């Protein structure tokens, strides 16, 4: 419950403050969102599996975002452009799908 | 990760357990294995207690706050970026339009000034010299000319590409710069004396070339449908129709669906070309006509005509 409230508070804060993202960070934003989504769905699933762990959640979120950002940066530097980010999106997308499927099984038993 | 078939190598070392390769594991169990490990640890040693537990909770809450913040910011960013993109595009289109307007305004002014210069010169020159100069200018494309001739109209085939995505393969029915070059050359060889493409008069230094998807005539873009107007003898239309260029274009038109039409036209007016700026080439023979003081009435100017003209040769075609 607190978690959902905190998430909502974050959204409200983001909408209310409306910060401008520095241009240098803009390419990393979408991939960071995907990484964050992965962490969120992982956490929800772990919660439903009754194995949620705060430390694991925090660490996985931070490392996900950082690694995703790093891969995008690396892709830019290597000149492969968006391809490496595509890899990140695919991997994280598969994980999100799998976790959402598990959540669905928990919630609807189907 | 890749060599996942290994077993105990030496015998004394404990058998290593290899996880299946990354993707298989990813599909089979998308949950971070850390959660299971943490749960196992908790069961063994008991979870964190007291303030530790509270602190960890707080960190989680802060993380979630950051998460929500991130989502909101990313959303706002994406929404905000879209009009920016179209705004930039609209701005560029606006700039192009404005510059085109300026260019044609300047071209109009140049025309007016050129007319003024011609008038002044005619006033200063004597009759025959002025007439000769006018003829030369007409031949080189530096003044407007009138006469009967033909209009060759070519247009791109309707694009099969998807209007939204812009995909759908290359349209083979597009008019190429080489098509216009061939038509211009065909018209010259059929006896045309003046040619203009979409109102751009061709001169001895004219270029017809492609830059990206656009066709440039004398470095100014022309867009389809293209109208190549030519002034020439009465049989220009027939001769051009028999020419290789026209036959080739008809074939292309039949095969790829672009439109190609030749029609005779009476009383065409072709505009003047913007005068070619010769910076390096100099006339070999001093043109007597350009020095008003030196040309006595009808004396030296006609005499110079056989030799005085090689610097202003007739255009021989859209050059390459």
How, if at all, do strands B208-211 and B145-155 pair?
A: unpaired
Q: Across the 320 residues of chain B, what is the mean pLDDT of every consecutive 10-residue run?
A: 44 63 76 81 74 81 87 84 80 90 89 84 78 80 86 83 58 82 91 89 87 84 87 90 89 87 88 77 67 42 39 41
Closest-CA residue of chain A to B62: A6
Question: pLDDT (tens digit, 9 = 90+) per residue, B266-285?
Answer: 888 888 887 667 788 887 87
Residue A92 lies in a domain: yes
How many residues does the structure list for chain B?
Answer: 320
Sheet containing B208-211: give its strands across.
B208-211, B214-217, B220-222
Q: In angstroms, what separates the C-alpha of A19 from chain B's closest C-alpha?
A: 7
CA distance B251 to A85: 48
- Which secondary structure element, helix H or strand E, spans residue A86, and what is its range? helix A83-108
pLDDT at residue B44, as a whole number:
82
pLDDT at residue B80, as a whole number:
78
Q: Report the residue from B32, B59, B66 with minimal CB separation from A42.
A: B32
- Mean pLDDT score of chain A: 85
Question: Would you state the structure tokens that stand for residue B203, as one six-digit string?
Answer: 């001169």
Helix locations, chain B, DSSP H: 22-28, 33-45, 50-124, 127-140, 177-189, 236-242, 244-256, 300-303
Q: Name B306's Cβ contacts closer than 8 Å, sequence gap at least 6.
A: none
Facing residues of B221 across strands? B216
Nearest to B205 by CA among B215, B191, B219: B219
Q: Name B109's Cβ contacts closer than 8 Å, sequence gap at least 6.
A: none
List C-alpha distances in Å: B93 to A73, B66, B88, B98, B99: 33, 40, 9, 9, 10
Residue A104 lies in a domain: yes
CA distance B97 to B101: 6
- Mean pLDDT score of chain B: 77
Q: Do A15 and B72 touch (CB under 8 A)?
A: yes
pLDDT at residue B99, as a whole number:
92
Greatest CA separation for chain A:
46
Compute the C-alpha angle B185/B250/B258, nearest 5°.
100
Residue A10 lies in a domain: no
Q: In angstroms, what separates the C-alpha of B61 from chain A's closest C-alpha?
A: 6
Q: Do A6 and B36 touch (CB under 8 A)?
A: no
Q: Do A11 and B27 touch (CB under 8 A)?
A: no
Q: In angstroms, what separates the C-alpha of A92 from chain B's closest C-alpha?
A: 9
pLDDT at residue B118, as a whole number:
78
ipTM rounded to 2 decimals: 0.84
pLDDT at residue B161, as a whole number:
59
In chain A, what is the straight-line distance between the N-terminal and C-terminal CA atoms, in Å? 24
pLDDT at residue B151, as a whole number:
92
pLDDT at residue B163, as a whole number:
55
DSSP letter for B3, please. -
Residue A28 lies in a domain: yes
Q: Name A28's Cβ contacts closer than 8 Å, sequence gap at least 6.
A: A68, A69, A72, A73
CA distance B257 to B117: 46
Question: pLDDT (tens digit, 9 = 90+) per residue, B59-101?
Answer: 888 888 888 888 888 888 888 777 777 888 888 889 989 998 9
List C-alpha distances in Å: B250 to B180, B183, B190, B231, B237: 13, 11, 17, 22, 15
Q: Do B69 and A14 touch (CB under 8 A)?
A: yes
Give the residue ranges of chain A where pLDDT is below 70.
Answer: 81, 110
Give me the DSSP letters along B153-184. Answer: EEEPPPP-S-TTT--S---TTPPPHHHHHHHH
Question: Would you state the structure tokens that stand for residue B319, as one six-digit string?
Answer: 């050059």
Residue A45 lies in a domain: yes
pLDDT at residue B167, as a whole number:
59
- Which secondary structure element, helix H or strand E, spans residue A59, and what is its range? helix A54-78
**Chain B contacts of A49, Cβ < 8 Å?**
31, 35
How, if at all, do strands B145-155 and B214-217 pair?
A: unpaired
CA distance B203 to B275: 9
Q: In angstroms, what separates the C-alpha of B167 from chain A's closest C-alpha?
A: 20
Question: pLDDT (tens digit, 9 = 90+) per residue, B275-314?
Answer: 667 788 887 876 555 444 444 444 433 433 344 334 433 4
Instruction: Name every residue in B having a CB less than 8 A away from some CB of A.
Output: 26-27, 29-32, 34-36, 38-39, 42, 56-57, 59-78
Identify the domain containing residue A67 by its residue range. 23-108
How, if at all, do strands B208-211 and B214-217 pair?
A: antiparallel
Residue A13 lies in a domain: no
- Which secondary structure element, helix H or strand E, spans residue B18, and what is its range? none
Question: How many other CB atoms are found less than 10 A from the CB of residue A32?
Answer: 21
* Coil, strand or helix at B151: strand
pLDDT at residue B319, as a whole number:
41
Q: Report the residue from A14, A49, A97 with minimal CB separation from B73.
A: A14
Number of structural domains, chain A? Answer: 1
Q: Do B35 and A61 touch (CB under 8 A)?
A: no
Q: Helix (H) and strand (E) counts for chain A?
A: 4, 0
Residue A67 lies in a domain: yes
Query: Up-side HSE of residue B197: CA atoms within 13 Å toward CB?
Result: 32
Residue A14 lies in a domain: no
Q: Do A14 and B39 touch (CB under 8 A)?
A: no
Q: Do A12 and B68 touch (CB under 8 A)?
A: yes
């Amino acid at each position: 419950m607190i978690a959902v409230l905190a998430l909502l508070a974050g959204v409200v804060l983001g909408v209310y403050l409306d910060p401008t993202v520095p241009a240098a960070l803009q390419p990393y934003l979408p991939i960071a969102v995907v990484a964050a989504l992965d962490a969120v769905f992982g956490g929800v699933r772990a919660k439903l599996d009754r194995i949620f762990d705060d430390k694991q959640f925090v660490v996985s979120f931070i490392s996900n975002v950082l690694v995703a950002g790093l891969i995008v940066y690396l892709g830019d530097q290597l000149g492969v452009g968006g391809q490496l980010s595509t890899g990140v999106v695919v991997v994280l997308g598969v994980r999100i799908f799998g976790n959402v499927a598990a959540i669905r099984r928990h919630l609807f038993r189907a | 990760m890749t060599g996942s078939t290994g077993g105990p190598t030496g015998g004394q070392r404990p058998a290593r357990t290899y996880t299946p390769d990354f993707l298989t594991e990813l599909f089979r169990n998308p949950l971070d294995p850390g959660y299971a490990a943490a749960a196992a640890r908790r069961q063994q040693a008991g979870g964190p207690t007291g303030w530790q537990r509270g602190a960890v909770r707080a960190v989680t809450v802060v993380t979630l706050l950051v998460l929500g913040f991130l989502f909101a910011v990313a959303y706002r960013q994406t929404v905000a970026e879209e009009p920016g993109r179209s705004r930039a595009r609209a701005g560029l289109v606006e700039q192009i339009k404005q510059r085109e307007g300026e260019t044609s305004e300047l071209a109009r002014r140049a025309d007016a000034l050129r007319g003024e210069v011609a008038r002044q010169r005619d006033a200063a020159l004597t009759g025959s010299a002025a007439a000769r100069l006018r003829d030369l200018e007409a031949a080189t494309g530096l003044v407007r000319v009138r006469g009967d001739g033909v209009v060759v109209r070519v247009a791109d085939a309707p694009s099969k590409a998807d209007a939204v995505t812009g995909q759908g393969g290359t349209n083979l029915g597009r008019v190429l710069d080489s098509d216009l070059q061939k038509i211009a050359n065909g018209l010259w060889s059929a006896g045309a004396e003046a040619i203009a493409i979409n109102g751009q008069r061709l001169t001895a230094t004219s270029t017809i070339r492609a830059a990206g998807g656009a066709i440039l005539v004398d470095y100014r873009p022309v867009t389809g449908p293209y109208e190549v107007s030519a002034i020439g003898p009465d049989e220009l239309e027939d001769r051009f129709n028999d020419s290789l260029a026209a036959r080739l274009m008809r074939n292309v038109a039949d095969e790829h669906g672009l439109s190609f039409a030749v029609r005779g036209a009476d009383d065409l007016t072709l505009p003047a070309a913007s005068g070619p700026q010769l910076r390096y080439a100099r006339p070999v023979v001093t043109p007597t006509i350009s020095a008003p003081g030196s040309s006595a009435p009808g004396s030296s100017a006609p005499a110079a005509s056989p030799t005085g003209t090689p610097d202003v040769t007739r255009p021989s075609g859209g050059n390459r």
